[in-house]
């Protein structure tokens, strides 16, 4: 890639020596470009700043004030508190920093601070700043039209240093930005976005808050667009390069299954099926994501799709994330297909000896028409006679690589349908699965009894246990779920294990309890789960491993401890485990009654719509957290965009990207040279993940 001045190490910028460069590197800033894209975390102007006289106790505020006096006060507990009296035209207030006596050396009388934090009452009103910046001494006098920017800072590189680095370098950096511009003037105007250099200038030195937002939208578009380009390439590679299978529909199996079903398909199921049929009949590979809420009836949809493949003489495979789920699918599907004379085969890892040989033979000879299995289907020893359709259930449990591995080995180009029971907002699906076409099951079959959801505090635990005992007495079963933040979080695991002992000995003596968590060997998990499914256990004490797909209609209680620690979508998955049988079902959340958690949980209690819950979850937790920290970590793909606020940009980005890739798939045109270079340098690893490049 052509070298740009922006690629040079920050170390060579004014005011950054080798030592500071190291500190910046620890914040993820290595090059001049990284610095330029280190954008302010917040903006303050006259509209966000409160005159000191108007500060009300209990409110989060931002103030600007001059330090009138200051000092460290000791307390009886040994805690040392730095205090400064801040003054503006309207009045004075004490600012207090408990435990930070060293600030006494940093601040001097006359300094002008911009500080934000809560106002408390403590011998009078005082503000306890969570963060502050020191403005230059004359800044407060020209408050009028000014906007103050605060950058994400670190202990090593505090706010004032960052601001100074920008002050001495921003003009120069901005001059280099046109090197990075990848859009033509005409394209840019069609999209209604500012130049890249204008955008970055607006971001770092906005004249007003609307300017800053205009600049941000340009960066947001860029990152969404680049990701969509990568996905449009993957989509083209998957669907358009080379012919796919054009499945032939005869209705030989589809019609009798319709007649045999004990229920009507929902409107959503019929709609989604017509999308899938149409796609499968095209001479192009299907690459489709089917999203549906828990219990929306995805399995039946999958089954019809598999029958379409069978009618034209093709095999199909349904891959589930666990053996229990594979067996569950098998039971449901086998009973429906046996009367039609369609041959169903199961292949899982625990299948051994003669049974396994038989299954492999049926897959290889083509006598197995519908194949249901687990990861075992991916192994090299499995060779299909003519796989025409692969369906991946609960797709977030599999990597893209795994489904690619299976597809690559086939001599033809089978259609792909991935199914997900984690309803994610359309915008999120577009951003992260832009390579897939989207079908959505947004309707539950009629007659479902809603699960009654209740919030309880820990003090009410005994009465909750009592309720669970009466349910067990009536022959029902219950799940008790404990949080497990990540696999390595031993503390939480201990909680589930310890609780299991306590519950067994003290709370439910005489009942049959099982323990299920992620660190047990797979075989033991399967044993426990099948025992619960058979009704040989009354109570299942578990972590979130019960979240996915399991169907035990006799279970009527889902009791979740520390519910505030779960995402709403995760809670929704858990709640979906009950309410599957004739009995009235209950989801009881035990919650530490603190903070904002209960606002989230109230939304969950009052809604049964997985998509609505997912949107609320995304809004309240932010997209970084949405998938859990493990998946995106500290380097989120999307830094500047907000998938709720920027949905219009996302739609625009996808449309633009698909249009470009349809005419210039490898970005070889001279107009796309810079775009191609930028994407290659920024998304190298993602390109591999999407199977492009
Ligand atoms: P999920 O989408 O969570 O995988 P399933 O496919 O397991 O849901 O379906 C849940 C239950 O709903 C199954 O018992 C299934 O037989 C039933 N079901 C599916 N479609 C319908 C329908 N249209 N009407 C009534 N029940 C249905
Ligand atoms: Mg399912």
CATH of the domain at 74: 2.40.50.140
Choice between 352 and 489, residue whose per-residue pLDDT is larger: 352
Q: Copy the structure tokens of residue 354.
A: 């003669």
Q: Is 292 in the pocket of ligand 1 (CB under 6 A)?
A: yes
For ligand 1, atom 24, the nearest C-alpha belongs to: 445
Q: How far is the CA of 480 from the centre of ligand 1 (A)?
A: 24
For ligand 1, atom 10, the nearest C-alpha belongs to: 295
Q: How far is the CA of 440 from the centre of ligand 2 (A)?
A: 14
Cβ contact 230:692 at 8 Å: yes
Return the closest-CA partner of residue 60 out of 69, 68, 48: 48
The whole-model pTM stands at 0.71
- Looking at the CA of 299, name the nearest ligand: 1
213 in any annotated domain? yes
pLDDT digits (tens, 9 = 90+) for 361-381: 999 999 999 999 998 998 888
Q: What are phi and psi of 349, to 5 degrees?
A: -65, -30
Residues 552 and 675 in one domain: no
> Of 407, 422, 441, which residue constitutes the final position of a domain?
441
Q: How far is the CA of 323 from the centre of ligand 2 (A)?
A: 13
For ligand 1, atom 13, the nearest C-alpha belongs to: 297
Instruction: Quote the pLDDT of residue 266.
Output: 95
Residues 36 and 75 in one domain: no
Structural element, H or E, at residue 494: helix 490-502
Residues 330 and 385 in one domain: yes
CA-based max dimension of the chain = 89
- Looking at the CA of 296, name the nearest ligand: 1
The answer on pLDDT for 343 being more than 50 is yes
- Looking at the CA of 331, name the nearest ligand: 1
How does strand 92-98 pair with strand 112-121?
unpaired
Number of independent structural domains in the chain: 5
Range of the domain at 360: 254-441
For ligand 1, atom 12, the nearest C-alpha belongs to: 297
For ligand 1, atom 5, the nearest C-alpha belongs to: 297
- Looking at the CA of 333, name the nearest ligand: 1
DSSP 3-state percent helix, strand, coil across the chain (nearest 5)? 45, 20, 35
Q: Is 266 in the pocket of ligand 1 (CB under 6 A)?
A: yes
Task: Return the best residue to mutate from 257, 269, 299, 551 for the ligand 1 pocket (most ligand atoms within 8 A of CB).
Answer: 299
Closest atom of ligand 1 relative to the 269 alpha carbon: 23
Instruction: Quote the pLDDT of residue 562.
Output: 87
Residues 676 and 603 in one domain: no
632 in any annotated domain? no
Output DSSP code: residue 282.
S
The answer on pLDDT for 7 being more than 50 is yes
157 in any annotated domain? no
CATH number of the domain where residue 312 is located: 3.40.50.300
Q: Is 296 in the pocket of ligand 1 (CB under 6 A)?
A: yes
The answer on pLDDT for 688 being more than 70 is no
Residues 375 and 275 in one domain: yes
Instruction: Quote the pLDDT of residue 582.
Output: 82
Q: Is 297 in the pocket of ligand 1 (CB under 6 A)?
A: yes
Q: Is 263 in the pocket of ligand 1 (CB under 6 A)?
A: yes
pLDDT digits (tens, 9 = 90+) for 427-440: 777 777 778 888 98
Distance of CA 460 to the CA centre of its chain: 33
190 in any annotated domain? yes
pLDDT digits (tens, 9 = 90+) for 593-631: 765 567 788 889 999 888 888 888 777 766 555 444 333
Choice between 625 and 566, residue whose per-residue pLDDT is larger: 566
Residues 343 and 270 in one domain: yes
> What is the Cα–Cα distance from 173 to 175, expressed in whole angstroms?
5
631 in any annotated domain? no
Residues 232 and 260 in one domain: no
Q: Is 233 in the pocket of ligand 1 (CB under 6 A)?
A: no
Rounded to the nearest integer, the mean pLDDT of the chain is 86
Per-residue pLDDT, averaged over 171-191, amounts to 93
For ligand 1, atom 20, the nearest C-alpha belongs to: 297
For ligand 1, atom 26, the nearest C-alpha belongs to: 445
Q: How far is the CA of 421 from the centre of ligand 2 (A)?
A: 7
Residues 37 and 47 in one domain: no
| 61-79 residues labelled b (16+ CB within 10 A) or e (exposed) | bbbbbbbeebeeeeeeeee
652 in any annotated domain? no
Q: Is 445 in the pocket of ligand 1 (CB under 6 A)?
A: yes
Residues 374 and 394 in one domain: yes
Q: Copy the structure tokens of residue 565.
A: 């620690």
pLDDT digits (tens, 9 = 90+) for 71-100: 998 888 888 999 999 999 899 999 999 989
The SS3 assignment for 75 reads coil
Q: How far is the CA of 148 from the centre of ligand 2 (A)?
A: 51
Residues 211 and 329 in one domain: no
Residues 302 and 392 in one domain: yes
226 in any annotated domain? yes
> Of 621, 639, 655, which residue constitutes the final position of a domain?
621
354 in any annotated domain? yes
Q: How far is the CA of 294 from the centre of ligand 1 (A)?
A: 9
Residues 66 and 204 in one domain: no
């Amino acid at each position: 890639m052509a070298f740009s001045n922006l690629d040079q190490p920050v170390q060579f910028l004014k005011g950054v020596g080798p030592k500071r460069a190291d500190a910046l590197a620890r914040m993820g800033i290595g090059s001049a470009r990284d610095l330029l894209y280190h954008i302010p975390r917040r903006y303050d102007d006259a509209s966000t700043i409160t005159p000191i006289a108007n500060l009300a106790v209990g409110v989060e505020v931002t103030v600007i004030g001059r330090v009138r006096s200051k000092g460290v006060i000791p307390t009886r507990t040994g805690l040392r508190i730095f205090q400064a009296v801040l003054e503006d035209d309207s009045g004075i207030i004490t600012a207090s920093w408990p435990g930070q006596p060293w600030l006494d050396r940093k601040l001097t009388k006359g300094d002008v601070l911009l500080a934000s934090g809560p106002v408390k009452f403590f011998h009078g009103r005082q503000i306890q700043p969570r963060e502050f910046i020191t403005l230059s001494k004359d800044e407060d006098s020209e408050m009028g039209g000014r906007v103050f920017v605060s950058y994400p800072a670190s202990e090593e590189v505090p706010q004032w240093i960052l601001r100074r680095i920008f002050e001495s370098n921003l003009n120069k950096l901005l001059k280099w930005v046109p090197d990075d511009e990848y859009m033509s003037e005409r394209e840019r105007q069609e999209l209604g976005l500012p130049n890249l250099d204008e955008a970055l200038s607006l971001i770092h030195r906005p004249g007003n808050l609307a300017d800053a937002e205009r600049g941000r939208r340009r960066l947001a578009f860029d990152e969404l667009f680049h990701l969509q380009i990568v996905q449009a390439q993957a989509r083209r590679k998957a669907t358009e390069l080379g012919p796919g299978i054009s499945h032939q529909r005869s209705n030989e199996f589809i019609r009798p299954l319709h007649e045999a079903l004990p229920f009507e398909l929902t409107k959503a199921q019929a709609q989604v099926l017509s999308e899938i049929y149409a796609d499968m009949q095209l001479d192009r590979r299907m690459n489709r994501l089917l999203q549906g809420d828990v219990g929306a009836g995805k399995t039946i949809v999958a089954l019809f799709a598999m029958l379409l493949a069978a009618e034209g003489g093709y095999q199909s495979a349904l891959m589930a994330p666990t053996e229990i789920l594979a067996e569950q699918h098998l039971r449901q599907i086998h009973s429906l297909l046996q009367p039609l004379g369609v041959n169903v085969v199961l292949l899982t890892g625990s299948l051994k000896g003669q049974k396994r040989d038989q299954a492999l033979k049926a897959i290889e000879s083509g006598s197995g028409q519908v194949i249901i299995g687990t990861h075992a289907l991916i192994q090299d020893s499995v060779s299909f006679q003519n796989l025409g359709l692969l369906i991946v259930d609960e797709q977030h449990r599999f990597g893209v690589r795994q489904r690619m591995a299976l597809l690559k080995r086939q001599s033809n180009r089978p259609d792909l349908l991935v199914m997900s029971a984690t309803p994610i907002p359309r915008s999120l699906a577009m951003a992260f699965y832009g390579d897939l076409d989207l079908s959505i099951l947004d309707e539950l079959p009629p007659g479902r009894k809603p699960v009654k959801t209740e919030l309880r505090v820990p003090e009410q635990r005994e009465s909750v246990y009592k309720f669970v005992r009466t349910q067990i007495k009536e022959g029902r079963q219950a799940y008790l779920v404990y949080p497990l933040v990540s696999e390595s979080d031993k503390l939480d695991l201990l909680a589930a294990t310890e609780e299991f002992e306590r519950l067994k000995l003290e709370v439910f003596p005489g009942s049959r309890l099982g323990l299920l968590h992620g660190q047990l060997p797979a075989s033991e998990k399967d044993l426990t789960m099948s025992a619960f499914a058979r009704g040989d256990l009354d109570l299942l004490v578990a972590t979130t491993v019960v979240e996915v797909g399991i169907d035990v209609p006799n279970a009527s209680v889902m009791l979740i401890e520390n519910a505030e620690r779960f995402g709403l979508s995760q809670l929704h998955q858990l709640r979906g485990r009950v309410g599957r049988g004739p009995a009235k079902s209950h989801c009881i959340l035990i919650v530490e009654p603190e903070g904002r958690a209960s606002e989230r949980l109230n939304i969950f209690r009052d809604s049964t719509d997985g998509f609505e819950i997912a949107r609320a979850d995304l809004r309240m937790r932010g997209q970084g957290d949405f998938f859990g920290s493990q998946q995106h970590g500290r380097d989120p793909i999307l830094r500047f965009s907000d998938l709720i606020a920027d949905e219009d940009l996302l739609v625009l980005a996808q449309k633009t990207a698909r249009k470009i890739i349809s005419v210039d798939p490898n970005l070889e045109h001279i107009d796309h040279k810079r775009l191609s270079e930028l994407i290659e340098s920024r998304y190298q690893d993602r390109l591999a993940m999407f199977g492009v490049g």
